[in-house]
Structure 1
Amino acid sequence: MGGVLPLIGKRLLLGLVTLLVVSIIIFGAVELLPGDIAQQILGQSATAETVAALREELGLNRPAYVRYFEWLGGAIQGDFGNSLANQRSVAEQLGPRFANTLFLAALAAVISVPLAIGLGVLAALYRNSVFDRVANAVSLVSISSPEFFLGYILIVFFAVQNQIFPAISNVTPDMEMGERLYRTLLPAITMALVVTAYMMRMTRAAIINLLASPYIEMARLKGVPNSKVITRHALPNALAPIINVVALNLAYLITGVVLVEVVFVYPGVGQLLVDSVTKRDFPVVQACCLIFAATFILFNLIADVGAILSNPRLRHPK
Structure 2
Amino acid sequence: MHPVLSTVLKRLMLGVLTLFMVSVVIFCAVSMLPGDFGQAVLGQSATEDAVEAFRQELGLDRPAALRYLDWIGALATGDLGTSFSGRSSSGIDRSRPVAELVAPRLANTLFLASVTAAIAVPLALFLGITSALWRNSLYDRLASAGTLVTISFPEFFVAYILILFLGTLWALFPSLAAVEPEMALGERLYKSVLPALTLTLVIVAHMMRMTRAAIISLLASPHIEMARLAGESPRRVILRHALPNAWAPIATVIAFNLAYLVVGVVVVEVVFVYPGVGQLMVDAVSSRDIPVVQACALIFAAAYILLNLLADVIGIITNPRLLHPK
Structure 1 residue 237, shift from structure 2 partner: 2.2
**TM-score, normalising length: structure 1:** 0.94
Structure 1 residue 257, shift from structure 2 partner: 0.4
> Which one of 97, 111, 114 corresponds to residue 89 of structure 1?
97
Q: How many residues align?
A: 318
Q: Secondary structure at the match of 2:192?
A: helix
Instruction: Report the residue type matching 1:107 in the other structure.
Output: V
Instruction: Report the residue type matching 2:38 in the other structure.
Output: A
Instruction: Report the residue type matching 1:28 in the other structure.
Output: C
| Partner of residue 320, structure 2 | 312
**Whole-angstrom distance in 1 between the partners of 2:124 and 2:217:** 17
Report if aligned partners of 1:7, 1:315 keep a CA contact under 8 Å in 2. Answer: no
| Partner of residue 301, structure 2 | 293
**Whole-angstrom distance in 1 between the partners of 2:114 and 2:80:** 25
**Whole-angstrom distance in 2 between the partners of 1:225 and 1:316:** 30
| Partner of residue 273, structure 2 | 265
| Partner of residue 146, structure 1 | 154
The within-5 A match list for 1:1-16 is 2-16=2-16
Report if aligned partners of 1:107, 1:185 keep a CA contact under 8 Å in 2. Answer: no
The within-5 A match list for 1:129-208 is 129-208=137-216
Report if aligned partners of 1:38, 1:54 keep a CA contact under 8 Å in 2. Answer: yes
Structure 1 residue 222, shift from structure 2 partner: 3.8
Note the alpha carbon deviations across 1:6-35, whole angstroms, 9 max, x for none. Answer: 111111111111000100111111112232
Structure 1 residue 317, shift from structure 2 partner: 8.6
| Partner of residue 275, structure 1 | 283
Instruction: Report the residue type matching 1:114 in the other structure.
Output: P
Note the alpha carbon deviations across 1:92-145, whole angstroms, 9 max, x for none. Answer: 000010011011011111111111111111101111110000000001001111
- CA spacing shift, 1:47–1:163, aligned 2, 3 Å: closer
**TM-score, normalising length: structure 2:** 0.92
Structure 1 residue 213, shift from structure 2 partner: 2.3
Q: Secondary structure at the match of 1:163?
A: coil
| Partner of residue 220, structure 2 | 212
**Whole-angstrom distance in 2 between the partners of 1:188 and 1:232:** 35
**Whole-angstrom distance in 2 between the partners of 1:260 and 1:69:** 33
Report if aligned partners of 1:78, 1:91 keep a CA contact under 8 Å in 2. Answer: no
Between 1:182-191 and 1:138-147, the stretch displaced more is 182-191
Between 1:230-239 and 1:54-63, the stretch displaced more is 230-239
* Percent of pairs with identical residues: 61
> Which one of 233, 245, 251 corresponds to residue 237 of structure 1?
245
Gaps of at least 5 residues in structure 2 are 87-94
**Whole-angstrom distance in 1 between the partners of 2:42 and 2:279:** 25
Instruction: Report the residue type matching 2:137 in the other structure.
Output: S
